[in-house]
Chain A
Amino acid sequence: MSDETCRVVRASVRAFDCAYARYTSEPFALGRMLAVREGRCLTFGVVTGSESGPDDPSRPLVPRGDAGQSAAAVMADNPEIALLLRTTLSVAICGHIDREVARPALPPMPPPLLAEVHAASDEEQVRIAAGGRFLVPLLANSAADDAVVAAAIRDVARAAGADGRPFLVAAGKELARLLKAEPSRLTSILRAVEPEP
């Protein structure tokens, strides 16, 4: 297994966890839509969390390195450490493609364990998120907090390119519909979606 390959290590129809073979300082970002292209259908999900640490919980990582030494330099000076760490991601499922039909809904079955996990292509993101409907399964997952939802919307808007603005409008409308009973949450997400001034 390549160090850069990420594979499913726990799966349900609502969420899955995936892990890299080793530690990576640059895992898939929060809110990034990922794709599992194995199994009965293609499964798509959004990164809701990322955790790195020792593979063996009984061997905690202790701080090492001299003052001013960068993380990369400390890793290079202690070559065993990178081999004993692992990065794991948690992913909320937000859609699937079954026989070429994109559905912003939970898949009929979990993605296969040990299936490879990739970044969804721009085209796949746009298909799954069309009209903001991927927000329905996403908001139903308690792991998808405001920051995750906002990051996911921003990422799809980037993937949509010139169609990013219409997507943001549609997603905003869908959010307003889904969160009409939670105006403060709606406001929080919309503020987080807005681009930095």
Chain B
Amino acid sequence: MTLRMEAVAAELPALIARHAETRAAAGAAIEGARAALRGWSDDPVAASARIERALAGGAVPYALAEDDPAAAFPAPAPGPVSVVGVDGSSITPDRFAAVRCYAVNTGHAVLPYGVALEPSLDAVAEVGLDRDLLEGAPDMRQAPRGLATSLLRDVRELERGAELALPALEAGDCVLLLDGTLLPWDLHTRQASDEALAPYRDRTLAALERLRACGERLSVGAYISASAAREVAASLGALAPPPPDAPPLTDGDVFRGLLAPGERSAIFRSRSSRPGRVESLLPGHEVAFCYLRIGDDVARVELPAWAASAAQVERLHAALADQCERCEGYPRVLQEAHEQAVISAADRRQFELLLARLAGDADIRERVNGKQQSKRRRTL
């Protein structure tokens, strides 16, 4: 027996009742936030100035709209386009292993719609020693396990996106989609020095520059399903403070009732004075975002501010709505990229065994570790 169901089942009804109370309290706050959004829309200049006065210089991230903040745009019909999706998966170096080795698997899908391009589903795998992740900065050893691997994975996703977008553009317009945030958030971790993070920052910058150089025929979007971001909600809170007992709202709570399926919100720009914001490390590559309603989901779509022209946003919106329709509410191209990237539990075990066997052939033995041994044996 692992989880005692009879014990947890008895507690669940009370938890659900508490959740219902929270939702009821959130309802009033959501209505208040939507009224504030309408007020912002009625006088955008004055409202934006109020938001700036209230939040500029503080630590709370907020957002300002690039156009009417309450606007809702229906999905345009998709034109001929190649849609490129990239997603990554990784194996963190095992500190108990004889050889500490990481693996990063970057999957992609290139799906042409009405353009002469060969579709492609594939992945690129790479392995290295954990010291390769450090690039001469040993303080990364103190960072949580997986931080460097995760950073490398995020950087490789951007790099792979640039590698695939360039040839796709030769066939026509292209939309590049990434899963998760546009920029690797771990770039501003305080758990590693600037020196340790510099190679990742430089590679991220280089990939973003390559993408920017593609021009207007490339749209770029990072898709965050069921985002919990609160930047627009924070701005609305500055216009109309929520009831004191209200739970914190997400931007998704605000836009869920305002957007019809397939519609997107206005484009917003993140604002924050928080020190070490990842955008501050990547000058010229500020993040813009909008929300997209797909079924019951309100997804956040991040894009580089330099890729937020009307044509680029329209192409991105059309492609995302079409992709989600093809895949029951999630972009088809990202699902297929994920399928290519995913490292299953069986793959991880096989990698571990292969590494141990090859290390053993080289007379390098795993250090005997009681906890690991015990977990593997599980004897009575």
Query: 1/0 per residue A52-86: CB within 8 Å of B?
Result: 00001001000000000000000001111011100
Residues of B within 8 A of A84 (CB): 121, 336
Shortest Cβ gap from A121 to chain B (Å): 32
Interface residue total, chain B, C-beta cutoff 8 A: 12
Query: 1/0 per residue B114-131: CB within 8 Å of A?
Result: 000001110000000000
Q: Is the interface of A mostly helix, strand, loop or mixed?
A: loop
- B326's partner among A59, A78, A82, A83 (CB-CB below 8 A) is A78
Residues of A within 8 A of B109 (CB): 80
- B264 CB-CB contact with A under 8 Å: no
- In Å, the complex CA distance between A77 and B111 comes to 10
Shortest Cβ gap from A135 to chain B (Å): 43
Shortest Cβ gap from B117 to chain A (Å): 9
Interface residue total, chain A, C-beta cutoff 8 A: 9
Shortest Cβ gap from B112 to chain A (Å): 6
Residues of A within 8 A of B333 (CB): 80
With CB as the reference atom, state the residue of chain A lying closest to B122.
A83
Residues of A within 8 A of B326 (CB): 78
- In Å, the complex CA distance between A82 and B111 comes to 11
Query: 1/0 per residue A95-135: CB within 8 Å of B?
Result: 00000000000000000000000000000000000000000
Residues of A within 8 A of B120 (CB): 83
How many residue pairs at the A-B interface have CB separations less than 8 Å?
22
With CB as the reference atom, state the residue of chain B lying closest to A62.
B328
- B332 CB-CB contact with A under 8 Å: yes
Query: 1/0 per residue B78-112: CB within 8 Å of A?
Result: 00000000000000000000000000000001011
- In Å, the complex CA distance between A77 and B322 comes to 11
- In Å, the complex CA distance between A29 and B220 comes to 46
- B113 CB-CB contact with A under 8 Å: yes
- In Å, the complex CA distance between A159 and B120 comes to 39
Shortest Cβ gap from B202 to chain A (Å): 34
Q: Which residues from 325 to 343 on chain B have a C-beta closer than 8 Å to any C-beta of chain A?
A: 326, 332-333, 336, 339
- In Å, the complex CA distance between A10 and B317 comes to 46
- In Å, the complex CA distance between A77 and B326 comes to 10
Shortest Cβ gap from B323 to chain A (Å): 11
Residues of B within 8 A of A80 (CB): 109, 111, 119, 121, 332-333, 336
Residues of B within 8 A of A83 (CB): 119-121
Residues of A within 8 A of B336 (CB): 80, 84
Residues of B within 8 A of A78 (CB): 326, 332
Q: Which residues from 144 to 160 on chain A have a C-beta closer than 8 Å to any C-beta of chain B?
A: none
Shortest Cβ gap from B119 to chain A (Å): 4
Shortest Cβ gap from A45 to chain B (Å): 31
With CB as the reference atom, state the residue of chain B lying closest to A64.
B326
- In Å, the complex CA distance between A77 and B325 comes to 13
Shortest Cβ gap from A97 to chain B (Å): 38
Shortest Cβ gap from B15 to chain A (Å): 33
- In Å, the complex CA distance between A84 and B119 comes to 11
Q: Which residues from 250 to 301 on chain B have a C-beta closer than 8 Å to any C-beta of chain A?
A: none
Shortest Cβ gap from B243 to chain A (Å): 46
Residues of A within 8 A of B339 (CB): 56, 59
With CB as the reference atom, state the residue of chain A lying closest to B112.
A79
Shortest Cβ gap from A76 to chain B (Å): 9
With CB as the reference atom, state the residue of chain B lying closest to A59.
B339
- In Å, the complex CA distance between A77 and B332 comes to 12
Residues of B within 8 A of A59 (CB): 339
With CB as the reference atom, state the residue of chain A lying closest to B119.
A79
Residues of A within 8 A of B112 (CB): 79
With CB as the reference atom, state the residue of chain B lying closest to A81.
B119
- In Å, the complex CA distance between A84 and B111 comes to 13
Shortest Cβ gap from A63 to chain B (Å): 14
Shortest Cβ gap from B34 to chain A (Å): 37
With CB as the reference atom, state the residue of chain B lying closest to A82.
B119
Q: A78-B326, A83-B121, A84-B336 are in contact. List 18 more A-B contacts (CB 8 A).
A: A59-B339, A77-B113, A78-B332, A79-B111, A79-B112, A79-B113, A79-B119, A80-B109, A80-B111, A80-B119, A80-B121, A80-B332, A80-B333, A80-B336, A82-B119, A83-B119, A83-B120, A84-B121
22 A–B contacts from the bound complex (CB under 8 Å): A56-B339, A59-B339, A77-B113, A78-B326, A78-B332, A79-B111, A79-B112, A79-B113, A79-B119, A80-B109, A80-B111, A80-B119, A80-B121, A80-B332, A80-B333, A80-B336, A82-B119, A83-B119, A83-B120, A83-B121, A84-B121, A84-B336
